[in-house]
Each structure stands twice: as C-alpha cells, then as structure tokens.
Chains A and B, each alone.
Chain A
Amino acid sequence: MSGAPGVVAVNTFREAVRDRVLYNLVFFALVMIGAAILVGQISIGIERLVIVNLGLSAISIFGLVMAVFIGVGLVSKEMEKRTLYSLLAKPIRRWEFLAGKYAGLLLTLAVNTSFMTLGLAAALFYVGRPFVRSDGSIVIAVYFILLELALVTALALFFSCFSSPMLSTLFTLGIYVTGIFAGDIRGFGDLTRNPAVKAATKLIYYVVPNFHDFNAIAAAAHGERIPFSLVWQNTLYAALYVTLVLLAASAVFSRRNLK
C-alpha cells in the first residue's frame, strides 16, 4: 500500500507498538511454556494436542481481543484527541484514512500472529516432537485465524464510524457470536414450519459472516489435511466480506458530520 493510506497504516502500526500492544506476546509465551511443561505431568497422551489446541486458541483469542478493542478505537480515538481534524485537513480522503487505519491494524495483527506462531512452533519443538508434513495444517489454521481477524477488524472499524466505542464493541462481538452460530440459526429455521421464520433465519445465515468455516483448530491439532478448496474459498469469502464492510464504512464515514 502506497500513498496516503500507506502512511496512515505505518503510523497506526507504530502507534500500536508504542502503546505496548505487542506485550501480549510475553503472556502468550508464558502460557505456551507453562503448557509445554505442565501438560505432560497432569494428563495422558495429549501433549501435542494441547500445545496445538492451546496455541491456536490463544492466537485466536488474543487476536480477537486486539481486533475488537483496538478496532473500535481506530476512528473514535482520533476524534477524541482531535488529531483527525488536522489529518483530514491534509490532502487525504476519508476512505483513504479508513483504509490506512484498517491496513495498519491488520499489519499489527499479522506481526503479532507471526510471533505467536513461532512461539507455538518452539513449544512443539520443546516437547520433543519432530516437525512433520501434516504440520502444514497448523499454518493453514493460523492463516484462517488471520482471515477471521481481518473480518472482525473490518466490522469493528465499520461500527466505530458511527457509534461509540462501547456500542461498537457490543455490536462487533454480537456479530461475531451470531456468525459462529450461523449454521445453528439456519438449522433452527429449518425445524420450523413457519415460512417467515425460515426465510429470516436463512437471511441471517447469508448476511452475517460465517465464522465457523474459519475454525480449523481441531483439524490442525489432529494433523488432518485441510482441503485446498477450503483455503481458496475462505480467502475469497473474507476478501469479499471485508471489501463490502469497508465500502459501507467509507460510505458512512464520508457522510458523517465531524463538526
């Protein structure tokens, strides 16, 4: 990314680093070290499983917390500190500002996730497990988590364009939880005989992002092969959804009265 959005992105990343956001890596490292040492003592036969499950779950949870809580403050913080006004006085369009903010947080999440993945690999190495070909599933699971985080960040940014940080957090988490249960909601509609409920649940199923499809943690933990078709389909799904949400965010933000 070059030009104005690139400058905003780099500054957003720098700001996150300055705010000690990456300190969560220390906590992650402690969790992984603790798990690697303790699990073998308190359980039977699941050392590798726990390391992979715990590592991937932690990557996902830490990433989600960052995406939501930093994402909802991307716009409001600039408004609160009144830096947004001096920024927009420069030759930068509002959508460019949003795109830069989004890219900056995504870069932060990608760096954070990369370090955590290295930590996970180190923990697996510590428990004396040689790396095998099926570990490719772990890398794919991490990639899916990143796609999920890209979507959550876009949603958080969208809500922060017209709502307070508190409400934006609630909205984003609400959509996230609904997205996890999207399949169940549709299944519930299929059980009813009411065509209106059936149509509504079907609509919800297609409108909310289906986060369940991005969850490959269990498959990675068991060393199962993840089909390539799922990789490209999830990538395309996330790209389409992120584009849609960012377009909506740009539309809302460009019409917002900032006075």
Chain B
Amino acid sequence: MIISNRNRPLLAALGGVPLLFAAIALLQARMDAETRSAAQENEELLLRSGAAIEKMSLGYDSLLADIYWTRAVQYYGERVGTPGANFGLLWPLLDITTTLDPKLIVAYRFGAIFLSEPGTAGAGRTDLAIDLVKRGIAANPDEWHLGLDLGFLYYWRLKDYPDAAAAYLAASRNPQAPVWIKLMAARIAEKGDSLETSQMIWSELYESTKDPNIRKTAAEQLRGLQAQEDEIRLDEIAEQYRKRFGRYPASPSEMRDAGMLPGVPEDPAGYPYVFGPDGKSHLNPQSTVVIEPPPKTTSGPQQ
C-alpha cells in the first residue's frame, strides 16, 4: 500500500498523539508516586484569610465558597477513620468557606460535626465546632437548625447541660421552630443525663440529615442507647430474680424459664445479652453494638 506524502502527517499524528499522551500519563504517575508522600507532609493552605480570598474573588465569592466547602469535605473524607490522622486544615477550610459565603448553612452544620467528632471520626475540636455554629447563628438568625446543633454540641460533647438547654431554648424562640425543641430544652434543664433525652436528640439528628455517614453514626448511637435501656431493665429483673432464687441469673434464658421474661432478649444487632457474676447484663462480646459511656452529670439534675 502506497501512502501519499499528503497523508503521512495525518497518520503520524493518529499514531503518535495517543502514544505521546500515554507516555505523558505514565511519567506523571511516576512523578506523583515520588512526590505524594512529601506533598502530604507539606500540605498547606497558601491563603488562610477568608477576607483576603473574598477580595481576590472579584465577586465570585459564593462560587469559591462552594469550592472550598467541597475541598473541606474531601479533606475530611480522606482522613476520617485513619488512626493518627491530622485534621489541621479542617478549621481554616471551614473558616474560609463561611467567610466567603456566610449563608452556606450546610458548611456550619456538617463542619461542626467534622470538627467535633472524637477519635478517628473527626478533629475532636468541640471548641472550634461551637465557634463555627455560633458564627452561623450570628449570620443566619432565622436558621433554627443551627441552634439545635449548638445544643447538641453542648449536650453530647461537653455534657454542659445548662448551656445545652439555653441553646435549645434560644432555637425554640424562632417562630418556625417546632414545639418539641422547647420541650427538649425543658427536659435537659430538668434532667440532662437521661437516656430518653439522648435518644430524642440522636433521633432528631437522624431524621434531620440526608448524609449517609451522619445517619449511620446516629443510628449506631441510637442502637447503643437502646442497648443501655435494655440493660437497665434486665438488671432490674435480675435483681428481682435474686430476691426470688437467692442468686443472680447466669443467663437471660434462666429468667425466661422462670417466667420473668417472654423470651431471650437480644440487642439491636440480634445478639443475646449476657450476665456477669455480679448480676449485671452486658452486650454479647460478638455484638456489633457500641455503647458510649453515658453522659454524667457533675452537679446532679440541672434546674
């Protein structure tokens, strides 16, 4: 086959361009592999001032806010669940996002969760989370959901029941806020450390979010709280068993056989509870349910 001079450049391009692109991609991948570790160590934000970035945005500040928020989500997502992960840039990213767009409610709400989650689930900085939500409330006084988030942070993370009650009460003053928020404020003020209150708060969080990760966390917390409630009831029945038979039951099936339980109770993951020699019920070691330490009051029920 004779290839005319005119077609040669075309054929060379058809063959050469994909080859050269493939070579470039391979080279880039190699360079990335060599520089990735260094880049992770040296990660930084060139600009940390939200106000300066806002000026430089030339009016496109709300679009930049979306970009920074997406960056914050990615930053959190890359680190969550990694032991020893450093969340050092999370706060600056959220600070810039909310400075660029003070009405970006989602950044306050999810950002507070990212910041406050302990362990590998977040930055463990409830103080910054509270600052963020307070800033959101100041910029969006009509957004009562932020008041709920503030109350949640005080209640669950800090066990600060007076401030939690005050935050819920402040949120309840919004005409659009549902009535139950006021009831929650009263309940926390009256008895901050009850399981019922915790269940109410986690249920509200579960219902109010569409984010699958937060729903999963809330569902796990609710399962843990349900298990705690079960254990309290089982312990009471075990005490009645001891009074009747002079010893604690070795297993729930003994209580069932004694007619004190309709069946063998199972935790929310489907595993039967077990009893210790002290007559206290516990989760089955194989159970996937996790019970967080119950909220503890330092000064008894709050007035």
Contacts and interface: CB of A to CB of B under 8 A. Distances in A.
B58 interface: yes
Nearest to B66: A50
B62 A221 contact: yes
A44 B73 contact: yes
A256 to B, nearest CB: 32
A184 interface: yes
Contact of A42 (B61, B70, B103, B106): B70
A54 B66 contact: yes
A180 interface: yes
B66 A45 contact: no
Contacts of B63: 50, 53-54, 57, 217
Given A57-B60, A218-B101, A218-B103, A46 B66 contact: yes
Secondary structure type dominating chain B contacts: helix
Contacts of B73: 42-44
Contacts, number: 56
A180 B66 contact: no
Given A212-B59, A215-B59, A218-B61, A44 B103 contact: no
Nearest to B209: A45
Given A181-B55, A184-B55, A218-B101, A45 B62 contact: no
Given A184-B55, A218-B103, A43 B62 contact: no
Nearest to A49: B66
B59, B60, B103, B106 pick with most chain A CB within 10 angstroms: B59
Contacts of B61: 218
A222 B59 contact: no
B106 A217 contact: no
Given A43-B69, A53-B62, A177-B58, 17 more contacts: A39-B70, A42-B73, A42-B74, A45-B106, A45-B210, A46-B66, A46-B70, A46-B104, A49-B62, A50-B63, A54-B63, A54-B66, A60-B59, A60-B60, A218-B62, A221-B62, A222-B103
Interface of B: 55, 58-63, 65-66, 69-70, 73-74, 101, 103-104, 106, 110, 210-211
16 contacts: A42-B74, A43-B69, A43-B70, A44-B110, A45-B211, A46-B66, A49-B66, A53-B62, A53-B63, A53-B65, A53-B66, A60-B60, A177-B58, A184-B55, A217-B62, A217-B63
